[in-house]
Structure formats: C-alpha cells, structure tokens
Structure 1
C-alpha cells in the first residue's frame, strides 16, 4: 500500500492526513509489517509550483528519508519508492542513497522509478524536461550497473559515464535490488518491458489492463528479455464492510468475500501484486480497515 500522510494531494488524501505526522506514518507502517502487507510505498516530488499547488498539494515527504525512518521500525515489509523521479538526480547519487537504504533495511528495497511530469521541477534542477524519457532510460541502465555486484561499477552512456569509482556500502540484496518502472504511457510500458524488473501502472481502469499487459509481454519477448517481472495494479479504493458514511460511489465496499472475489479478477489478468488504499476518517479507522483486509479479505485472494 501507498502510505498515507507522506503525500497529500487532494485527489487521494483523506482529510485527517493534514493534521497527521510521523507518529501516524509509524503506526501505519508497523501495522503493514505486522499484518503481512507486501510493501509500503512513498512518493517523490522535490518542489511543487504554485500553478499545481491546489491540485497536487505541497506535502510530499522525501522517499529516501521516509523509508529509511520506517525501515528501523519494521522487520519484513518491503520498502518501495513509488515512484522516484530518478532523472532529476545523477544515477550515482540515487545509487548511493538507495543502496544505503537497502543495506540498512536488510535487503528490503524495491526501487520504483518514473519519468516525472512537473516541468518546473526539472527546470529548477537543470534537467531538460522534454528529454526526461530518454534521461530515465539511461538512468535505469546506469542504476543497474551502480547497484550491481561490483563496488567499482562501470557505465558509459550519452549523458552519464563512470568507472574506477567505488561506492559502498553495497546493497544487501543480490545481485541487486529490483527496479520497477511506473507509468502507463506507451513510453512507460516500453520502458518497463525492456528495462524493468516490474511494472507499476498508474491510473489504468480494470478494462484497460489486459491489453496493456499483453503489450508489455509482447515488447519484452521481442526485446529478448527472459527474466521474470512483477506486474502490478492499483485497485479501486476499498472499504471492508458497510460504511456508515459516504465513501464515494467508486469505492469497492461490502462483505470481505465479495471484495476478495472482485480483486481476484486482477490475478486472472496476469497481475502479480495489487496496491490497495482504504477510505478512512482517522488513523484508527485506517488501521481497522487494514486489520479487516488482512484477516478477512487477503486469505480469499489467489496466490500467484
């Protein structure tokens, strides 16, 4: 699940998150760890321009700092950047940060990356916005080298090149932490197919996913990439049980077995992991929803 509090766009944040803080993040992360959730995720934006502040909000915690903080309070749950706008930073900087996080967490990092969409962020940091796709392609290739087995990684590309430079500590995960590519544009799907260890679609409806997954697999096969990949999906917003308040007509709600039956459709499409989000009016209700999902819905999902 994507963590609450750490990103507060009015599009998806609950009203109680505006007054929440680190203790709330900690409680949710510990619950996810205890209840068997696969990963907790944190977003990435460096700065939000005024023109987007109303739509996006301005609260965006740094993912490396946030996940590192939560790594010390959890034991088994994976730590996902969903997604790091990796093209905003030199790949050696990104590798240093996330390799350290992987080492500190005992090998629990999943590095999710995406191209980004806020032009002002790129301009402020001196990165060409129009070339962000090509920059991310090369960045992913460079990160595979920098996060790999050798502390003296070597890479030579059009924008980045390094050799003879040691980076330690190395990641705990071998041969390297997985890199999942986020996004649903044709370029993002191609990037995930050719370069990714996993795909994190963004905003696709259920009826759109089968064609996207087929395209992804076709591109991967055509590129000669035989390694398995983790295909993800973001589900509808959930509420386990019958709510006593208005949760929105698009919320998947009701009896646990009915929710489980609905979510099993994702597995039938070829999805390997689902990211869930729950409606809630406060932290207590969110934790209750997580408990109910883990106890009453998750056992009814087919293992993949």
Structure 2
C-alpha cells in the first residue's frame, strides 16, 4: 500500500489569513483538498493557550471536532482527523458524544487522533491537574473504546461515576472510530499496541521534543527503530502490525511552492518515510491567502499525490 496524505489546516502556520477559517474560505479549502486527492483533513487544538506561549511561537486553533463537522458538510470522501485532541481536557463521556456526532454526520469518516497534552498553563486554565494527565488519558481512551460496546456503560472514573449511562446514537464506525495516538515515547507505543489503530510520531529536534514533552526523533533511522519496536509490541499483544497506521509529521510537512521548493527532494523523502514503515504523512500548505493555500493543495496533488498513485 502506498502512502496516504493528510492535509493539516494552515491555521497553525504563522501569518495564516483569517479568510481560511471563515465559512467560505474553510469550505473552499476543504473542497480543494478533497479534489486534490488528499486522504484526510486535520485540525489541531489549543483551547486556552497563554499569550506568552503564543508570543513565543505558539499558534491559534479552532475546536477540531467542530471544524471537522463543518468540513464533513462540504465534502464527500475525505477522512476527518483530529490532530490531535487532548483527551485529559474533557470529561470522556462528553467528548465521546461529540465524536459520535461527527462520525454520524460524516457517514463514518472520522479518525480520532488523541494525545496526552503538554502545556501546563493550559491544563491550569481548564482546571485539569497536569500531573494526572497520563491517568486521565488512559481513562478517556478506555471510555472511547468501550462506551458503545454494550447497551449501557458503567465505570468509576477518577472524577466521574457512570452507572448504566447510554450514549445514543452511537458512531457509524463500530465499535468506535479509529483511534490514533500521538507521541514519540515508548509509553505511547505501548498504548498504541494495547488500544490504538494508529501511531502519530513527530520527527523533531531535541529542543522541540523538550517543548512538547516527548522524546526526540530526528530522522528516518530513528523512525524506523520506533516502528520496529511498535511492531514487536503489537505481535506481543497478539495483533497484526499491518493493521496499525503510522502517520508522520516532519520538517518536510510544511511545503513551499514553485521554484522555491524541490518536489523531487520532497518525493525522495516520502520514499524514505515509506521505506521506514510510515503509512501516512502530514502536509501543510502556506496560508497567507486562500488563493495561495488552494494553489498549494492543487500543486501538491499534481506533483506528489498523483505520482504516488501512479506508482
């Protein structure tokens, strides 16, 4: 199987034009992504970042599930990815209801990308104990995997009690939409082997890894080792390694256009990722204007996606 391509909305890039996250611009972007051949469209989240973080290079965001619901309404084929949803921020029954709603309204196109989170000030602003984030993440993951299995759901959570609760209507994809887990650590890979349908590592430097509170993974050699480790963990868990996706984001995810960018070098790097075991890659176009973003989608579709489809 060849690589699949996810387009992440450019709101996370510096200088993103507001027209790209207004109604008409968002509709045009999502439709252009689908027409260009992208397999998925993604939105990230930071519901309450600090001004200090934004000023130091952080980024704005939309609510990812709300944005994906909008994208579902203006597209027919492209999958919808939360990249990523910070599970500890929310009561898991509430987030499960939103997930089921988006999956229903999209006819089963949602992939739930989730993570533990790393911004202490955001946790504090949302009233969530930063030191509990790992336990809260595992609890939320368990709810998403088990909520729709039986007629009702019961569990004693860390901060909630469910006694025969019902989440209806449920999602189209049963028992739940695919769950992909972000992070570079071995603990993340263990979670994927136990309870995930996808792993979302980042190829990042030591400095960026420290900022995002994960392990560094600087290149394809490290990625290949991580994928081999994940596959071994999956085998130990009695699972087929080929059933789990590996989506990669790297410095090659942010593309430029025309003569400023070498599509041949980009394609070579995609080949390196595929050889390492990646199944999916993340791409971000420039976003200084809607026209620029749409042009980037079209050019990427012609120069990269079409070439992969032919091969």
Q: What TM-score results when the alignment is normalised by the length of structure 1?
A: 0.85
Q: Where in structure 2 are the equivalents of 1:282-293 lying within 5 Å?
A: 282-293=289-300
Does 2:230 correspond to 1:230? no
Q: Deviations over 1:272-293 (max 9, x none)?
A: 1111123454321221121122
Deviates more, 1:224-233 or 1:269-278: 224-233
Separation (CA, whole Å) in 2 of partners of 1:157 and 1:95: 15
Q: Deviations over 1:140-190 (max 9, x none)?
A: 0111112x3445234455565534211112101123200000111333233
Aligned-pair CA distance for 1:267:
0.9
Aligned length: 287
Q: What TM-score results when the alignment is normalised by the length of structure 2?
A: 0.83
Separation (CA, whole Å) in 2 of partners of 1:292 and 1:169: 40
Match of 1:206 in 2: 219
| 1:270 pairs with one of 270, 274, 277 | 277
Separation (CA, whole Å) in 2 of partners of 1:56 and 1:183: 20
Deviates more, 1:258-267 or 1:77-86: 258-267
* Maintained 8 Å contact 1:30/1:73: yes
**What is the root-mean-square deviation of aligned Cα atoms in Å?**
2.4
Which structure has more RCO (C-alpha within 8 Å, separation ≥ 6)?
2
* Maintained 8 Å contact 1:2/1:42: yes
Match of 1:124 in 2: 125
Separation (CA, whole Å) in 2 of partners of 1:38 and 1:264: 18
* Maintained 8 Å contact 1:264/1:302: no
Aligned-pair CA distance for 1:294:
1.1
Q: Where in structure 2 are the equivalents of 1:237-256 lying within 5 Å?
A: 237-243=254-260, 253-254=261-262, 256=263
Greater helix proportion:
2
Deviates more, 1:96-105 or 1:21-30: 21-30
Separation (CA, whole Å) in 2 of partners of 1:229 and 1:303: 24
Structure 2 residues not aligned, in runs of 5+: 1-6, 205-216
